[in-house]
Amino acid sequence: MIYISEEESAALVTHDLAFEAAQAALVAATSPQGRVFPAILGRAREVSNTFSIKSGSSDDLTGVKIGSFWSGNPARGLPRHNSTIVLLDQQTGRLGAVIEAGKVNAYRTAAADAVAADLLARRNAKVLTIFGAGNQASFEVTALARIRPIETVLVVARPSPRRDAFVNRIGERGLEAHAVSVEEAVRAADIVVTATPSREPLFDAAWVKPGTHVVSMGSDAAGKHELPSDLLSKASLFCDLLSQSVQIGEFQHLRDAIDAGLLAVTPIGDVIEKRAPGRRFEDEITVFDSSGISLQDLYMADALIRAKLRR
């Protein structure tokens, strides 16, 4: 059995590795061999401590990812978010690998959003608006700035030392960064990323200008809701996996319309494989629902194992 600790996986992971793994996983999700099973969401003794179990398989990989959110961890000097990936031996079902992947998980999520943005965002996108200033937000900025010529980052978050520190860190990377109002941020954006636990829409659809690409990555459980429904009715819609998106992703709020055939949603894997178009014209508004699928975790684990063996 292969074991990779949190410290080792954090040292091995890169944005290049994550991008390639996420791309392969999103393609696998649309293939006959790719299987993603319903996510299981649970709580520990303290109701603020939650976990999820995501499982799946492909021709070469079978396993699960256990993600946890322990609200009191910062007081212990630990991150709130943790992740463990377990790969099973395809022949015997015994443990093949155990990988601690807390930091890796942030790379993995941002990479999927970058893969989609590379197909859906305008080539000259320069202004990125991000809702949230938590752990994930920094990875989203870095991943998207690798594939588009981002110059300005507009941050929407409650006033706090953490928000101000986040804005300063972005500025230290050579990007212009400002904390601004919701309306100002959305009206100016070429790309909008929502990385929040919100249960109600974060902005007005009328503020989204033609040609904007929008990513919802915070909606990953029943009841979460980041985007205005009237935006989705006039945008071209994409997702990582439709069956999961309509259960726990942003498109859960459109399930009836999607089931009735009134709205079409394209899996991004079909765009990668050129079975479906991505962005078709400059003024098109595109939306990617990034609910986070188990295959991303399995392919990340496989990429980390190969990187470890190369070392």
Q: Which residues are catalytic?
A: 65
* Whole-number Cα distances in Å, 268 to 133, 162, 229, 241, 251: 26, 33, 20, 8, 14
Half-sphere exposure of 7 (CA within 13 A, CB side): 0
For residue 225, the cross-strand partners are 199
Q: How many CA atoms lie within 13 A of 269 on its CB side?
A: 18
As a whole number of angstroms, the distance between CA 88 and CA 63 comes to 5
d(CA 44, CA 35) in angstroms, rounded, equals 28
By three-state DSSP, how is residue 61 classified? coil
**How many CA atoms within 13 Å lie on the side-chain side of 270?**
14
